[in-house]
Amino acid sequence: MWLQTCVYVQAKKKGPAVGSYRCSYYNNNENHACTHHYIQKNTLSAFVLRDIQIKATLAKADKERMKQQLSAVINISQQNSMKQINKQLKAAETREATIDVNIKRLDEDKYEGNLLENAISQLKQSRITADPASAGAWIVGLDSARPNKKISTRCRVLILWRRRI
């Protein structure tokens, strides 16, 4: 039974207001799903309190089992946390490996003569600003500085990739 918010109904007799919860399934489905029914607030409170007392009594009676259950819940949450941390660590290691590979490729391009000396030093020191226009102008400047030796596609990708770091 899904309970709707408390609706206070003034008793026809004189006295305090009586609170009750109505079945929201009945209210939401226009009388087609079930009959009209409700539970009074004090009756619901008594059921909930009794259930809590039963659970507390069982917990006192079987402390060792409760400790094991709580330990299991804590271990599961710790394992989930460790999985998330390991996932983040693996992603960071992958990114670091990608950066290392790209730097090695830059060195290869440098020795092959595809990249100017000042360009490699600027890339290694990450002096490229976050402004896309300046990075684009820098690439055009490299192309015009050495028209017969164009920058490789790898270098262009790395330049644009570094710009977002």
Give domain status of residue 148, yes or no.
Answer: yes
pLDDT at residue 70 tops 70: yes
pLDDT at residue 158 tops 90: no
Better-predicted residue by pLDDT, 112 or 100: 100
Give domain status of residue 104, yes or no.
Answer: yes
> Which tens digits make up the pLDDT trace of 109-146?
667 666 566 665 666 665 444 454 555 555 555 555 55
Give domain status of residue 70, yes or no.
Answer: no
Give domain status of residue 82, yes or no.
Answer: no
Give domain status of residue 80, yes or no.
Answer: no
Give domain status of residue 117, yes or no.
Answer: yes
> Which tens digits make up the pLDDT trace of 8-40?
454 555 555 566 666 666 656 666 666 666 777
The single residue listed with the structure tokens 């102008």 is: 137
Cα–Cα dist 99/135, whole Å: 19
46 and 100 assigned to the same domain: no
148 and 102 assigned to the same domain: yes
53 is in which domain, residue-wise?
A: 3-61
48 and 108 assigned to the same domain: no
The answer to whether the CB of 19 falls within 8 A of the CB of 41 is yes
- Number of independent structural domains in the chain: 2
153 and 98 assigned to the same domain: yes
Give domain status of residue 84, yes or no.
Answer: no
Q: Which of 157, 165, 140, 163 is nearest to 106 (CA)?
A: 157
Give domain status of residue 67, yes or no.
Answer: no
Nearest-10 crossing angle of helices 117-125, 153-163: 30
